[in-house]
Chain A
Amino acid sequence: MSISLKRARAIFVKDYKEFSRNYAISIILVFPILFAFLFRSAGSALPGAIGFLLNTSLVILTSLAQACLIAEEKERNTLRSLMLTPATTLDVLIGKSSLVFVMSAVVLAISTYILGYEPANIGTFTAAIILSIILYTAAGTICGLFSKTVLEASLSILPVAFIFTGAPWGAVLAKDYPVFKVLDFMPSSQLVHLLGLGDTGYTTGDVLKPLLIILAWTVVLTVVSVVLYVRRLKDE
């Protein structure tokens, strides 16, 4: 399937204009920054603050915004109209996801700066954040595709929020309840591992394992979202 950057950019610009005029949704951009100020006032050394901030922001900003954008297009029948133009599935998905990607990257960077977090390895941190944004965008796409309205989309994010942001906390219980060990394989838990690396004393394995697990989640959820997107737009 071909990709036209021109068409993807046209969809990006359209989404930007729509999003910036939709105050009910665009207000979510403020929350991560607000959280960052709150945590900073509690002291930058607050344990788990950066992990909680980033994981929560990825759900309430990235996934929620994407789910609402997709659901609104479905609710107003514009998604089908868009698919009957020469824009391909990938043009539409890339165009729609780009806005959420850019917004998430900027807001997360600002929030991290406000909190005063300094990553041990900036390259690893950047890679993990980029993969996480893609992953949570895909999760948002899936939620949006299963929702008929924006309201449904906002509610469908709740399980994602519960599972993904709760996983790092649940994984702590793995010593007493081995079944919780599985939560350690969630991308949010792996992100927390990466964020917790010290300036010294970590091996390549300490970096690669979490990155690969996050990458695997990203690939799987992205493929699922594309396949679902194609199938949900058919009336079979």
Chain B
Amino acid sequence: MAGSMHSLYIYAINAKDVEFMEVIQVERVRKSFGPKDALADVSFSIPKGEIFGFLGPSGAGKTTLIKILTAQLNPTSGQASVFNQPAERMRQSAQKMRFGILTDNSGLYERLSVEENLELYRKLYDLPKAAVDKVLQFVNLSGERKKKVNLLSKGMRQRVMLACAIIHEPELLFLDEPTSALDPVNSAHIYKGLRYLNEKGTTIFLTTHDMAEAELMCNRVAILYQGQIQVIGSPKELKRQHRKHAVSVDLTNGEAYELPIGGETADRIADWMKRGLIDRIETKEPSLGDIFIKMTGSELL
């Protein structure tokens, strides 16, 4: 009896810990617009501190899910929870203080300066004055604070929007295509900032159709296609699961081979090595893009 009570107690503790650790839980969520299912039976969870990538082509349902999780939409069926509460509660001011959001169509006030835009957000989040300076330094825009937004480049505007989304240092950050149409230098600025935030404890939910971005940033990814999750896991795991069991070998004499992994291949490689013929040797690992094509049979758009 005492033993069973003890196990029950441990179970309760563990269940509580698991719930506490999971920032987002989505169970069998479906969202229909008329006869079309934007999301069909989607389930996953995101633990605290993770950078989770939700990948898929345009129109796959990524933005719809962000809208459900931020209470802009209600699911047709299923359960979505954020901070261990129904997602609909994210409409409450107290909950809105806990998350930030940057979407590809987030807006800025064009006639106001960078600083005036951020001042508005500072006041809406009821933050001290220093918050504006801090976030401007963070997105590396201190020198542009007096500039009107309509005079900024696209990359700078995106950084201002990121600043608006993180000025209150949210526990959870939703990013919907944060670097779409940005050049590599500006994308790198954003990635650096996001990694820093994540190190400080912010959980990041990132949607993108850029597989390289996901591979670079995310601890785990889910590939969404036609409203359903096709595969979920860390980029490393997924690549391991979907890798070809083969090595490719380039020889110094210009010959190239793709050989199955096994004893016979090991012998051949050892022989080439002894003879100094190996120029390059690598395992055949797929990219996330290759996995996406394999899972969906579709090219990315």
Place the interface of chain A in its size category.
Answer: 20 to 34
Chain-A contact segment, one of B50-58, B116-124, B188-196, B200-208: B116-124
Given the contacts A6-B123, A10-B124, A77-B106, A234 and B112 also touching, CB distance less than 8 Å: no
Cβ distance B151 to chain A, nearest Cβ, rounded Å? 13
- Say whether B109 contacts A18, CB under 8 Å: yes
Q: B76-97: which have CB < 8 Å to A? A: 93-94, 96-97
From A17, A73, A87, A236, contact of B73 by CB (8 A): A236
Cβ distance A86 to chain B, nearest Cβ, rounded Å? 4
Chain A 12-35: CB-based contact to B (< 8 A → 1; otherwise 0): 011001100110000000000000
Determine the distance from Cα of A189 to Cα of B173 in the docked complex, in whole angstroms. 53
- Say whether A236 contacts B106, CB under 8 Å: no
Q: Is chain B's interface secondary structure helix, strand, loop, or mixed overall? A: loop
- Say whether B109 contacts A14, CB under 8 Å: yes
- Say whether B123 contacts A18, CB under 8 Å: no
B101 within 8 A of A: yes
Determine the distance from Cα of A81 to Cα of B161 in the docked complex, in whole angstroms. 10
Given the contacts A10-B120, A14-B109, A86-B125, A81 and B164 also touching, CB distance less than 8 Å: yes
The residues of B that contact A236 with a CB separation of less than 8 Å are 73-74
- Say whether A234 contacts B109, CB under 8 Å: no
Cβ distance B127 to chain A, nearest Cβ, rounded Å? 11
Determine the distance from Cα of A7 to Cα of B96 in the docked complex, in whole angstroms. 14
- Say whether B164 contacts A234, CB under 8 Å: no
Cβ distance A23 to chain B, nearest Cβ, rounded Å? 10
From B72, B111, B124, B125, contact of A234 by CB (8 A): B72
Determine the distance from Cα of A233 to Cα of B110 in the docked complex, in whole angstroms. 21
- Say whether B124 contacts A18, CB under 8 Å: no
Determine the distance from Cα of A76 to Cα of B157 in the docked complex, in whole angstroms. 13
B147 within 8 A of A: no
A112 within 8 A of B: no
- B→A interface (CB under 8 Å): 67, 70, 72-74, 93-94, 96-97, 101, 105-112, 116, 120-121, 123-126, 164
- A→B interface (CB under 8 Å): 2, 4, 6-7, 9-11, 13-14, 17-18, 21-22, 73, 76-82, 84-88, 233-236
Q: List 9 A-B contacts (CB under 8 A).
A: A18-B112, A76-B109, A76-B110, A80-B72, A81-B106, A81-B164, A84-B96, A85-B96, A86-B97
Which 9 interchain pairs have the tightest Cβ spacing? A10-B123, A77-B107, A78-B107, A86-B93, A21-B111, A76-B107, A85-B124, A86-B96, A77-B105
Q: Can you name 9 extra interface pairs (CB under 8 A) apart from A14-B116, A79-B107?
A: A7-B126, A13-B120, A17-B111, A18-B109, A22-B111, A78-B109, A80-B106, A85-B124, A86-B124
